[in-house]
């Protein structure tokens, strides 16, 4: 398995560098400069780039990186991606530094959004966040609910490498949805300690997301009750998700 390094970028983005020996891949390089710095400091040669979706803060550095290294660019086939050489739609298995990587279609945030899974590591872009999920800029509630359900079906020990540091920001909403959930209270304390020490909350543990993230808990009675008060149709997980996402948008 490759090693995984986090590079902070912009206000709250993470770029991920996957390395084995001197070879490296990079995931969602919205900015080329910190990637070049990391590659130079670690004496790494860039072999490939993985893109989850088309937003500029995820692909803005591709052109410069590809021009300098000739790296192959794996990216959604149905989105506008600079320099894409390997179009993907989900369902493929690719090799990253000799490791098999499952490509998963997870539409919702954008229509062509992909996630990449290698062993117990999941690179999910802006689909799933700590205690939250991405906004629906292009997809439907049904698409996002299905994408999140697919991620929730992965093993509990899955380590989730999401692309933004949003956990502390999302936890107050999770607590508003489930004020009597002790796992959320405990997580808030741990996250506050990490952030005050300048440490990331990423990677996330999927088991903890299932215990504290309202968008992965749409069948839990307490969450269902809240969603029903918001106008969700009883027993309809898409309606429950949509009600929660609308509330979160205005929280």
Q: Which residues are catalytically annotated?
A: 53, 55, 57-58, 109, 126, 164
DSSP letter string over the chain?
--EEEEEEETTTEEEEEEEETTEEEEE--S-HHHHHHHHHHHT-EEEEEE-S---HHHHTTHHHHHHHH--EEEEETTS--TT--EEE-SS-EEEETTEEEEEEE--SSSTT-EEEEETTEEEEETSEETTEE---SSS-HHHHHHHHHHHHTS-TT-EEEESB--HHHHHHHHHHH-TT-HHHHHHHHHHHHHHHTT---PSEEHHHHHHH-GGG-TTSHHHHHHHHHTTPPTT-HHHHHHHHHHHHHT-
């Amino acid at each position: 398995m490759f090693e995984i390094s986090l590079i902070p970028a912009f206000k709250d983005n993470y770029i991920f560098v996957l390395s084995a020996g001197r070879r490296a891949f990079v995931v969602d390089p919205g900015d080329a400069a910190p990637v070049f710095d990391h590659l130079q400091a670690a004496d790494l040669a860039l072999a490939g780039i993985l893109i989850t979706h088309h937003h500029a803060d995820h692909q803005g550095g591709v052109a410069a990186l590809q021009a300098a290294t000739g790296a192959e660019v794996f990216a959604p086939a149905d989105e506008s991606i600079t320099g894409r050489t390997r179009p993907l739609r989900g369902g493929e298995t690719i090799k990253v530094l000799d490791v098999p990587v499952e490509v998963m279609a997870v539409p919702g945030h954008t229509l062509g959004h992909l996630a990449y899974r290698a062993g117990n590591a999941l690179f999910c872009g802006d689909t799933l966040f700590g205690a939250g999920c991405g906004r629906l800029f292009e997809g439907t509630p049904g698409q996002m609910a299905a994408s999140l359900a697919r991620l929730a079906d992965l093993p509990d020990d899955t380590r989730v490498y999401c692309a933004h540091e949003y956990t502390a920001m999302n936890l107050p909403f999770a607590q508003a949805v489930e004020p009597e959930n002790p796992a959320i209270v405990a997580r808030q304390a741990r996250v506050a300690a990490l952030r005050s020490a300048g440490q990331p909350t990423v990677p996330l543990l999927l088991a903890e997301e299932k215990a504290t993230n309202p968008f992965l808990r749409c069948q839990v009675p307490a969450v269902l009750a809240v969603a029903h008060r918001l106008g969700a149709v009883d027993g309809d997980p898409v309606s429950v998700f949509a009600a929660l996402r609308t509330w979160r948008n205005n929280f």
